[in-house]
Amino acid sequence: MRHYSRAEMEQVYNHVLGERLAGVGPQGIREQVTAPRYEIGSRLAMPAPDYRIFHYCFAEIAHTNILSAGIANGDTLHFMNTAVAGLVGDRNITVVIDPADGAYIRNQFRGGSITIHTAPIQIVLNIAGNEPDDGVNVLLHLSEPLIAAVPLPTFVEIHENKYNSTVPMTGAGQQAVVAVPLMPVAINNFFWGQTLGKCICAAAIGGGIGAGVPNEVSVYFQDDGSIACATDLAPAGGYQYAGHTIPTSTRLGVAADTLYFELQLAP
C-alpha cells in the first residue's frame, strides 16, 4: 500500500478547499475581502449535497450586477520578444516589455503561462511569478524548466492567470466568461467566482430560458454575461457555451421560463 507524502496530501487538500495564504483565516463563498486570503485561481469544492465549484478571483473593475452575470478576464494579449538568451533547464526568462502595457507589478503573471516560439515550441509553461519591470525588461520565474534553448530574439506570448483582473462583460464580443460571482463585488476585492454547478444568471431575452422551443436545453452566454438559449441568439454568433437547463421547463403543465441552469465552465 502506497503512503502519500505530506506535500502530496497538501496538494489534495488545496485542490478541494483552496490554497490558503499563510496567517489568514478562511473566506466564505459570499464574502469579499480587500486583501487576498488564497492564491488566485485556487479551487474550492463544496461538500455534498452541494456540488458547486468555485475559483478565487480578483476584481479589477467592480461587478455591479444585482442578478448574477458572467464575468471575463480583463487582461489583454502580451506579444513580446526575449531580452536574454535561455538555456535548457533554466527556470527564469527575461523578455522585453510591451510599452502599450504600462508597468508590470510583482507577480502580476503568477499562475499564468508563457508560450515560447522555439523549435520545438515550448507550449504553456506555467509562470511561478515575476519581478517588477525595470522600464525595459521583465524577469519571469517559471514553475518548470525550459526544454529547449531560447536564442535572441525569440517571440513569446504571455497570459495572466485567467482569474486575475476580472471585469464585467462589455458586450463587445471579444471576451469569454471565466466565472459567475454570487453577489456584486467592489473594485479591487477578492472573491470566489463560481465555475460549475447549479446557478442563476440574468436573462438576455424575455423572462429566461427553456420555454421557447421543445428540447432547447443548451444555455449560452450573451456578450454582456447574461444567458440565453440558442434559438434566442443570432445564428452567426459564436456564443460561449454556459451549460444546460436543469428542471423540466413547465409549470402547471404550461411551458415556462427559468433562470436556473447547470453552469459548466471549469471543474
Q: Tens of pLDDT along 60-93?
A: 999 998 778 899 999 888 999 999 999 999 999 9
Question: Mean pLDDT, the chain, as a whole number?
Answer: 90
Over pLDDT 70: what percentage of the chain?
93
What pLDDT is recorded for position 253? 66
C-alpha cell, 91: 527556470
What pLDDT is recorded for position 236? 59
- Nearest Cα neighbor of 266 from 50, 12, 46, 54 is 54
Listed in order, the ranges of the chain carrying CATH 2.60.40 are 78-159
Q: Is the pLDDT of residue 137 over 90?
A: yes
For the domain spanning 78-159, the CATH number is 2.60.40
Q: Is the pLDDT of residue 38 over 90?
A: yes
- The whole-number average pLDDT for the span 185-213 is 87
What pLDDT is recorded for position 73? 93
- CA 154 from chain centre, in angstroms, equals 28
Q: Tens of pLDDT along 145-198?
A: 999 999 999 999 999 999 999 999 987 778 899 999 999 999 999 999 999 999
- The whole-number average pLDDT for the span 138-148 is 97
What's the pTM value of the predicted model, to 2 decimals? Answer: 0.92
Distance, CA of 222 to CA of 241 (rounded, Å): 10
What is 56-113 written as a DSSP string?
Answer: EEEBSS-B--SS---EEE----EEEEBSS-B-TT--EEEEE--GGG-PPPTTTTTT-E
What pLDDT is recorded for position 46? 96
pLDDT band at 29 (very low <50, low <70, confident <90, very high): very high
- How many of the other CB atoms lie within 10 Å of CB of 152? 10
